Amino acid sequence: MAESGVPPRNRKGLRTGFTTGACAAAAAKAAARCVAAHMTTLAEIETTLPNRAKATFPLKRCERTGNGAICGVIKDAGDDPDCTHGAELIAEVELRAEPGVEIRGGAGVAIVTKPGLGLEVGGPAITASPRRNIAEMVEEELAGGPWAGAVVTISVPGGEEMAKQTINARLGLIGGISILGTTGIVRPYSTAAFKASVVQAIDVAAERGLTDLVLTTGGKSEAYALKLFAGLPEDSFIQMGDFVGTALKHCARRHIARAIIVGMIGKLSKMADGRMQTHAAGSEVNMELLAALAAECGAGDALCAEIRRAATARRVLELCSAGNLPIASLICRRVVEHGTRHAGGNLEVHAWLVDFDGRPLGHYPPEAVGLEQAT
């Protein structure tokens, strides 16, 4: 049975959603059907997602254009926080006698300007899975008819504005959003698009031949890192968010020589506890670990007990600072140990802990200071 255009809920009661790629393929299939079947209007379209499940999408628009048609689908991202939720994915299809489905990018779809993403420089930012899905859905509608092929142009009204909420520009994806989606389904709060962007950013850096990458946990830590390592090019700085493990493993996979993690006490405390995914809902700061590290620095029993009772890692930092305890470097040491192990030992990992004003409080390895400043 086909799924409706309203995505189902997962086991936590959250609605799943559909990817931009799935919506673009549905719109393309609808437009191809209008032309191939000589239809003037169509209210919905059943399509096959990349994961081979069936889904039915209502159409926002359906217009004939001489030898072609234009159809649009509104993206429903479910309960996933996604800047493309509510976007209209439009497909203009023109049939032709020449075999094959040519896929083009229209307004609101980014143009690729840097190598390393597995996409042709100068072409539209439509990844492999959506391309296959679009081509398959159009070819289904052409089967048995007089038309052998088609030109499909995907556009997204307002896509350029949406892209400002992403890191597309840094990846060299200019002028719009990317058309993405491996399965066609968006899992709520999986932040799969962000995770993919981390991998893409590392790919771009590797393609440029960069050997030292600075991995930060967000915009604020990156701003501080840019000052710490001002000699590195912009593509060396990667906002990995909570995806520490993903970033480190992919750095190793792409033969990056050195990954420098820069962050503040909360995230680095979780990494020091071996957490390679640091989202607040998935990991808490281990106060017992911080108390043990404080003891290693010389903290007495009373201070260690106060650390165990602390509500936040920031409070622990305040307590240790008041006692002149160099806990930051010990946290960094643990981050390096866990990070190196997680990456498989083929990546040199450094760590820097900065305060909330960007001042470095500690780093590991100790000899990293001269090395970083000379970079």
- 262 and 168 in a common domain: no
3, part of any domain: no
Core vs surface per residue 236-268: b (16+ CB within 10 A) or e: bbbbbbbbbbbbbbbbbbbebebbbbbbbbbbb
5, part of any domain: no
- 171 and 67 in a common domain: yes
Residue 2: pLDDT band (50, 70, 90) is very low
Burial class, 174, CB count within 10 angstroms (exposed 0-12 / middle 13-18 / buried 19+): middle
Residue 183: pLDDT band (50, 70, 90) is confident
8, part of any domain: no
- 244 and 222 in a common domain: yes
Q: What is the mean pLDDT of residues 210-215?
A: 96
Six-digit token string for 33: 């059907």
Residue 11: pLDDT band (50, 70, 90) is very low
- 177 and 140 in a common domain: yes
Tens digits of residue pLDDT in 43-52: 999 999 999 9
For a pLDDT cut of 90, what percent of the chain falls above it?
68
Give the largest Cα separation in the chain, rounded: 84
- 207 and 74 in a common domain: no
Q: What are the distances in angstroms from CA 116 to CA 171, 289, 326?
A: 9, 40, 41
Residue 290: pLDDT band (50, 70, 90) is very high
pLDDT at 3 over 60: no
Residue 375: pLDDT band (50, 70, 90) is very low
Q: What is the mean pLDDT of residues 202-209?
A: 94
| pLDDT number for residue 190 | 54
Number of domains observed in the structure of the chain: 2
Tens digits of residue pLDDT in 31-84: 999 999 989 889 999 999 999 999 999 999 999 998 899 999 999 988 766 789
Q: Of 186, 205, 240, at which residue does a domain stop?
A: 186
pLDDT at 292 over 70: yes
Bigger pLDDT: 87 vs 357: 87
Q: Domain containing 306: what range?
A: 197-374
Name which of 184-188, 229-233, 303-307, 339-343 the model is least confident about: 184-188
pLDDT at 281 over 70: no
Q: What whole-number distance in Å separates Cα of residue 352 and Cα of residue 369?
A: 10
Q: What whole-number distance in Å separates Cα of residue 231 and Cα of residue 226?
A: 9
Q: Are 333 and 299 in contact (CB under 8 A)?
A: no
Q: Of 136, 165, 186, at which residue does a domain stop?
A: 186
- 207 and 67 in a common domain: no
| pLDDT number for residue 294 | 95
- 111 and 28 in a common domain: yes
Q: Are 168 and 178 in contact (CB under 8 A)?
A: yes
Tens digits of residue pLDDT in 325-374: 999 999 999 999 999 999 997 899 999 999 988 999 999 998 765 444 43
239, part of any domain: yes
Name which of 251-255, 268-272, 281-285 the model is least confident about: 281-285
Residue 296: pLDDT band (50, 70, 90) is very high
261, part of any domain: yes
Q: What are the distances in angstroms from CA 279 to CA 33, 241, 307, 324?
A: 44, 9, 22, 30
| pLDDT number for residue 127 | 92
- 156 and 30 in a common domain: yes
- 170 and 39 in a common domain: yes
Tell which residue, 160, 159, 108, 152, has the closest CA to residue 132.
152
Tens digits of residue pLDDT in 108-144: 999 999 887 888 999 999 999 999 999 999 999 999 8
Q: Are 271 and 328 in contact (CB under 8 A)?
A: no
Q: Of 186, 220, 251, at which residue does a domain stop?
A: 186
| pLDDT number for residue 218 | 82
- 45 and 170 in a common domain: yes
71, part of any domain: yes
Torsion of CA 113, 118, 120, 122, to 10 degrees: -20
Looking at mean pLDDT, say which of 111-115, 202-206, 274-278 comes out highest.
202-206
pLDDT at 12 over 60: no
- 215 and 168 in a common domain: no
- 146 and 208 in a common domain: no
Quick check: pTM over 0.85? no
CATH of the domain at 169: 3.30.2110.10
4, part of any domain: no
pLDDT at 279 over 80: no
2, part of any domain: no
Residue 188: pLDDT band (50, 70, 90) is low
